[in-house]
Every structure is written in C-alpha cells, then in structure tokens.
Structure 1
Amino acid sequence: MRYLVLILALFPGLAMADDKRVAFYAPPALVESGLIRHIAPRFSLKTQVKVDLVSDPAKADLLLGPEGQALFSGLGQTWHMELRGEAKGAQRFAEWLTSQVGSRTIQGFAPEGAPIFTKPKVQKAAVAKVEMTGDAVVGQRLAWAKCGRCHVTERGRDSFGIGSTPSFFVMRGFDDWQARFTGFFVLKPHAAFTQIAEVTDPFPVDRPSPIAPIELTLDELEAILAYIAILAPADLGNPLQHQ
C-alpha cells in the first residue's frame, strides 16, 4: 500500500487518468462520416479531456449505437448513447454530447455544405385500436396461457406469477387500465418479447427475443381485453397511486 501511495504521489496523472480521458466507441459509419473528428477536438479543447477512439465496444466507457439515450439522427437511423461505469471523463463527454453546445456541434457538421445529422427522431410506438368485442371466456384461457408466467390472471391461481409484477386485478383498478392493456406490447419489458400479428415489427436478427416470445393475434388480444373488462378491480383500500 505504501508503494502505491508513493507511486500516486510521484505520478499524480495516474490517479486522474479517468478524469482526463474517455474510451469512446462509435460505429464505422459514424467514424467514416467524419463526425467524430469534428466533435472530439471541440470537446477536448473545452474540457481538456482526451477522447480515445476504441475499436472494441466492450472496452468503451461511452459508446454510440442502438441502445441507450437517443442522441441524434442521420445516415438513415437514430443513434443512441450508452454510458458505462462511472469514469469522470466519460461522464463529462456524455454531459457535453447532450448539452445545447454538443447538440449544436453535432447538427452543425456539414462537410459538403448541408447538415447530415439532426435532432433524434424517436418513433412513437403504434398502439392497435382494439374494441372489447371479444369472447371473455376465450380471453380468460388466453390470459392464463400467455400472461400467467408473470401475472396473476385469475382467482384461485394466486400462487402463480412473479411477486414483483401486479396482478390483473390490481391493474384493472388503474384509471387508465384500458390504455395500458390495449398497448401493453409497446411497454417495457413486453416490447422485447411480444409479437402482435400485423402490428409489431419482427424482432431484429441481431436482437432476438431474450425469452420464449409471446405471440398474439388481434382477435386473441380482443378476447383478453374482453376478459379483463369483466374483472372486479382489487380492493386495496386507499385509491391506487401509480406513475
């Protein structure tokens, strides 16, 4: 330990390494566009934090790609920022990229006179318009088969489901229960493993469903909604508080 203290005292730059550098990954398309060469020096000049571009995403403290916070759009897609760990340099770069100065710098990149990148275009998930005209009896069976591994869907089967997920009876008591159930497949975590025929897009080839997918038709969803509509909301005493 004494040797470590001595080394840090003689070479204080080692202790500040994470404060003055950021291991950053950007996909080849962004690198080849010239955007990184445009923004990195401007950030470093302002903050004295060096941007080290790495070729392996696994070695990056901060990376651009399909996951995380939507940052900007261009080259046919929306690019997201993912911050890993607590390295000070990476945090400062993330803050700069999401600031007004960073956004203007990105959107001001126009190598041929015309900007390439814009504010992020975040698509709103489409919610199927479903009228509750289905068969409630069929819906009860489908609710158990499709949703019962996580939710309690009917009385007498309270031992099933995951304790941290609300039952259908609790959610039936929400003011917006109809909207929640109608569009459940776009809400986390359902979007990652749910497919509604003729409504949702197929899973990306590089990001398949993490578990056995739930597959429903609109007719089956109508039946489940018809069943939920006749459920008596759980009596929890005080009005439900939810976000």
Structure 2
Amino acid sequence: MTRLIVLISICLSFAPIARADDRLVRLMAPQALVDSGLLKHLLPRFSLKTQIRVQVVTAGQAHDIALGATGEPVFVGPRSTWYMQVLAPEQQAVQRFLSWLDSDIGQRTITSYAPGGVQMFTLPLTKQALDAGVVFDGDAALGQDLSRRMCGRCHVVRDDERMNAIGSTPSFFVLRTLENWVERFQTFYVLNPHPSFTQVEGVTEPFAPDRPSPIVPVEMTLDQLEAILAYVANLPPADLGAPLQHQ
C-alpha cells in the first residue's frame, strides 16, 4: 500500500496543473467607465464565448490589464479615448481576451453598445486612416453627436440609422470610400448644396438678407468640424463590392 501511494504521488507530480490565470483576467477600470455600462455589455459576451471570467478591479488592486489614459487606444467615448496597458501578456487568458477584443466580433460588440438607441462608443482611428497619416485632434464621441444633429437629417451617419436619411444623399460610410474624403469633409460647406444653408463661424459669409437659408441652417465652429472629422475617421468605409465588369 505504501508503494502504491508513493507511485500515485509521483504520477501526480508530473500531471499538468491548470493555472488559475488560464480562466481569469483581472481588469482594472476607472469608475467612470464602469458606470457607462460598457463592461457589463462587453465582458459577459467574451466569457460566454471563451469560458474565461473577467474580474473588474479598482485602482490599487492586482490586475493583468488596465484601462485608463495611457497605453494603446481601444475605444472612444463618451467624450474620452480609452487606452489599455497589458501587464501580463504571457498569460493565456489575457492573450485570448486581447485577441477577442481585436477581432471583428469584439469590435462590433463595442460599437453595438447603444442604451436607449444611442451609440456610446466608437473605435479608434482606423488603420487605413493612420497609414494615410490622417490624424484629427477633435473629440470623436462629440463628433458623432454633432454628425447626428447637424448632418443626420440628410445623410446616414451611423450604421443603425440607415432608414433615417434622404435616399439620394450618400452615407458617411460611402463617402469614406472616396480617396479625397478628407478634403470633401473639410470643405463640405463650399460643395453644393451646403452653401445655401451652412454657416461656419469665422469662415463663411452671412446669408444675404434677400437670400436666407431655405431650411433651418446648419451652424458650426471649426472645432466642431474637427470633432466630426475625428468621428468620420473612425468609420469603416462601405463595402461597395467589386467594380462592374463591362463586356
């Protein structure tokens, strides 16, 4: 019996032992982000897919990943860009969480969080925009709100509002497919039909008394335009399919 116990002990010593960190990620998040509700929307979906639990902890507690004001940008909103620092990149659970967050499903989960029908978070600048050297200082979350209020009566500015605009006007997603989209957005107020109803503070001339705006005018500042540009830079260009082949 003694020899059997010794043999079992030797076998157990060579058996693989599941590490606690294989099924747990400790995520430090500021209270403002917790209060936004995004993590309650995001984390259970990751756990359901992977069976890995994410424990949200506060500053000062041990953690594997930190969300805050430094690191790599992961999402934008409301009125802030949130960054991520990875303290335990070697842990398998952490690697799976980072891979999921960077996947199409993870990113759609972030952007689909819309309590009350209002999208609260967008993604950082797209890789295409960064590769092209396009960087805007504006607040993308504010730009989304401004786009909805100022441009949404004619253009589709969000993916979940495709039925709310004029069918003859291109969506922001279609405009993002154009090589000169930056120039078009920066100078939109001189492109027809915008001059007849748009005023940019310190840039455009006031409407002539005998030629007022035919609709409620769009009035904005250059800072607001910069915010809209920051938002548009985050949008994925529409998939228009392969060009038509003529025979």
Alignment TM-score > 0.5, same fold: no
TM-score grouping bracket, smaller chain normalisation: 0.3 to 0.5
If the length of structure 1 is used for normalisation, what is the TM-score? Answer: 0.44
* Between structures 1 and 2, the one with greater helix share: 2
